[in-house]
Amino acid sequence: MTEADRTAIRRKIQDEMERLRPEIERLREVTRPVAPDDSIGRLSRMDNIVNIGVNKAALGKAAARLAGLEYALTQLDSPDFGTCAECGTSIPLARLLAMPESDLCVRCAE
Ligand SMILES: [Zn+2]
Protein backbone atom coordinates (compact mmCIF):
# COMPACT_ATOMS: atom_id res chain seq x y z
CA MET A 1 0.00 0.00 0.00
CA THR A 2 1.35 3.42 -0.95
CA GLU A 3 1.46 6.51 1.23
CA ALA A 4 -1.15 8.10 -1.08
CA ASP A 5 -3.47 5.13 -0.46
CA ARG A 6 -3.08 5.53 3.29
CA THR A 7 -3.78 9.24 3.04
CA ALA A 8 -6.92 8.61 0.98
CA ILE A 9 -8.13 6.00 3.48
CA ARG A 10 -7.33 8.28 6.45
CA ARG A 11 -9.34 11.10 4.83
CA LYS A 12 -12.23 8.70 4.17
CA ILE A 13 -12.23 7.49 7.78
CA GLN A 14 -12.18 11.05 9.12
CA ASP A 15 -15.01 12.15 6.79
CA GLU A 16 -17.08 9.17 7.86
CA MET A 17 -16.45 9.90 11.55
CA GLU A 18 -17.44 13.56 11.08
CA ARG A 19 -20.68 12.40 9.50
CA LEU A 20 -21.41 9.76 12.17
CA ARG A 21 -20.78 11.86 15.29
CA PRO A 22 -23.70 14.33 14.86
CA GLU A 23 -25.87 11.45 13.62
CA ILE A 24 -25.16 9.51 16.83
CA GLU A 25 -25.90 12.65 18.89
CA ARG A 26 -29.23 13.03 17.09
CA LEU A 27 -30.15 9.35 17.59
CA ARG A 28 -29.24 9.55 21.31
CA GLU A 29 -31.56 12.54 21.54
CA VAL A 30 -34.52 10.79 19.88
CA THR A 31 -34.10 7.49 21.75
CA ARG A 32 -34.42 9.18 25.12
CA PRO A 33 -37.59 7.75 26.74
CA VAL A 34 -40.63 10.04 27.00
CA ALA A 35 -41.60 10.74 30.60
CA PRO A 36 -44.81 8.83 31.60
CA ASP A 37 -46.66 12.02 32.59
CA ASP A 38 -46.22 13.59 29.16
CA SER A 39 -49.76 13.72 27.73
CA ILE A 40 -49.01 12.43 24.24
CA GLY A 41 -51.89 9.91 24.23
CA ARG A 42 -51.84 6.12 23.99
CA LEU A 43 -51.46 5.80 20.19
CA SER A 44 -48.69 8.36 20.02
CA ARG A 45 -47.04 6.54 22.88
CA MET A 46 -47.15 3.24 20.95
CA ASP A 47 -45.81 5.03 17.90
CA ASN A 48 -43.11 6.53 19.99
CA ILE A 49 -42.05 3.14 21.38
CA VAL A 50 -41.77 1.73 17.85
CA ASN A 51 -39.77 4.74 16.68
CA ILE A 52 -37.44 4.50 19.65
CA GLY A 53 -36.82 0.85 18.82
CA VAL A 54 -35.97 1.67 15.20
CA ASN A 55 -33.73 4.55 16.23
CA LYS A 56 -32.03 2.47 18.91
CA ALA A 57 -31.11 -0.11 16.28
CA ALA A 58 -29.75 2.68 14.04
CA LEU A 59 -27.85 4.11 17.02
CA GLY A 60 -26.27 0.73 17.78
CA LYS A 61 -25.20 0.37 14.16
CA ALA A 62 -23.78 3.89 13.93
CA ALA A 63 -21.93 3.57 17.25
CA ALA A 64 -20.41 0.23 16.20
CA ARG A 65 -19.31 1.74 12.88
CA LEU A 66 -17.72 4.71 14.63
CA ALA A 67 -15.84 2.40 17.00
CA GLY A 68 -14.66 0.35 14.02
CA LEU A 69 -13.46 3.48 12.23
CA GLU A 70 -11.66 4.75 15.33
CA TYR A 71 -9.92 1.40 15.56
CA ALA A 72 -9.05 1.40 11.84
CA LEU A 73 -7.45 4.82 12.29
CA THR A 74 -5.15 3.42 15.01
CA GLN A 75 -4.21 0.51 12.71
CA LEU A 76 -3.68 2.53 9.56
CA ASP A 77 0.08 2.88 9.97
CA SER A 78 0.60 -0.74 10.92
CA PRO A 79 2.30 -2.87 8.22
CA ASP A 80 -0.60 -5.33 8.51
CA PHE A 81 -3.22 -2.75 7.60
CA GLY A 82 -4.96 -3.72 4.36
CA THR A 83 -4.05 -7.38 4.77
CA CYS A 84 -6.90 -9.82 5.32
CA ALA A 85 -6.81 -11.09 8.92
CA GLU A 86 -8.14 -14.45 7.76
CA CYS A 87 -6.24 -15.42 4.61
CA GLY A 88 -3.44 -12.84 4.46
CA THR A 89 -4.14 -11.50 0.96
CA SER A 90 -4.14 -7.76 0.26
CA ILE A 91 -7.56 -6.20 0.54
CA PRO A 92 -8.31 -4.13 -2.61
CA LEU A 93 -8.13 -0.35 -2.11
CA ALA A 94 -11.74 0.08 -3.27
CA ARG A 95 -12.91 -2.14 -0.42
CA LEU A 96 -10.69 -0.37 2.11
CA LEU A 97 -12.14 2.95 1.01
CA ALA A 98 -15.71 1.67 1.21
CA MET A 99 -15.25 -0.18 4.51
CA PRO A 100 -12.04 0.95 6.23
CA GLU A 101 -13.20 -0.77 9.43
CA SER A 102 -13.13 -4.22 7.82
CA ASP A 103 -9.99 -6.33 8.28
CA LEU A 104 -11.26 -9.11 6.01
CA CYS A 105 -11.21 -9.45 2.22
CA VAL A 106 -14.59 -9.83 0.46
CA ARG A 107 -14.21 -13.61 0.21
CA CYS A 108 -13.44 -14.11 3.89
CA ALA A 109 -16.13 -11.64 4.99
CA GLU A 110 -18.84 -13.71 3.27
ZN1 LIG B 1 -9.31 -13.15 3.16
Q: Quickly list DSSP for the chain.
A: --HHHHHHHHHHHHHHHHHHHHHHHHHHHHTSPPPTTS---HHHHHHHHHHHHHHHHHHHHHHHHHHHHHHHHHHTTSTTTTB-TTT-PBPPHHHHHH-TT--S-HHHH-
Confidence of residue 33 (pLDDT cuts 50, 70, 90): confident
Residue 48 in contact with residue 31, Cβ under 8 Å? no
pLDDT, one tens digit per residue, over 56-86 is: 999 999 999 999 999 999 999 999 999 999 9
CA of 94 from ligand 1 middle (Å) equals 15
CA of 39 from ligand 1 middle (Å) equals 54
CA of 5 from ligand 1 middle (Å) equals 20
CA of 60 from ligand 1 middle (Å) equals 26
CA of 104 from ligand 1 middle (Å) equals 5
Residue 55 in contact with residue 25, Cβ under 8 Å? no
**CA–CA dist 55, 4 (Å, integer):** 37
β partners of residue 83: 90
Confidence of residue 47 (pLDDT cuts 50, 70, 90): confident
CA of 87 from ligand 1 middle (Å) equals 4
CA of 80 from ligand 1 middle (Å) equals 13
How confident is the prediction for the chain on average, in pLDDT? 91
